[in-house]
Amino acid sequence: MTGAEQGLLVSTRVDKWLWAVRLYKTRSAATDACRAGHVRVNNVAAKPSTLVRPGDTVEARSAEREHVVEVTSLIEKRVGAPLASSCYVDHSPPPPSKEEAGQLNFVRDRGTGRPTKRDRRQLDQARKQ
């Protein structure tokens, strides 16, 4: 009897797994991230249908930060946060400090008007870094 016949998962889609372990709020957000090239499995760009297995390394970039996780177990359905966090080992870099995060916020003083072309270029350059 194989693992699939016993009810154990051998592999699952990366978009389902990312959603199930709560790295993305919705499955469609996980799918969109895969299509946009923000997800890599074992250092290879992943399509939503890419299969993940225990032992694989998944790198997922979201709006907040970059996650680097190692798959330890597979799930396809969304479960509680404590159970979901036990399905991977987190190797992510620490989140940016509040000072660094504040620099990327780009809040302008009230009443200063629209940003100039030079200001917009500086903001675009800072976002690329």
> Is 106 found in the same domain as 49?
no
54 and 81, same domain (yes or no): yes
CATH number reported for the structural domain that contains residue 74 in this entry: 3.10.290.10
Question: What's the pLDDT tens digit per position in 25-40?
Answer: 999 999 999 999 999 9
- Domain enclosing residue 121, as ranges: 96-129
Cβ–Cβ under 8 Å, residues 51 and 14: yes
**Per-residue b or e along 68-87, where b marks 16 or more CB atoms closer than 10 Å to that residue's CB:** bbebeebbeeeeeeeebeeb
Residues 82 and 100 in one domain: no
pLDDT per position as a tens digit, 78-104? 999 999 999 999 998 887 676 665 555
Q: Let me know whether 1 and 36 are in one domain.
A: yes
* 102 and 83 share one domain: no
Number of domains observed in the structure of the chain: 2
Q: What is the pLDDT of residues 3-24, one digit of tens each?
A: 444 457 788 999 999 999 999 9
What is the value of pTM for the model shown?
0.71
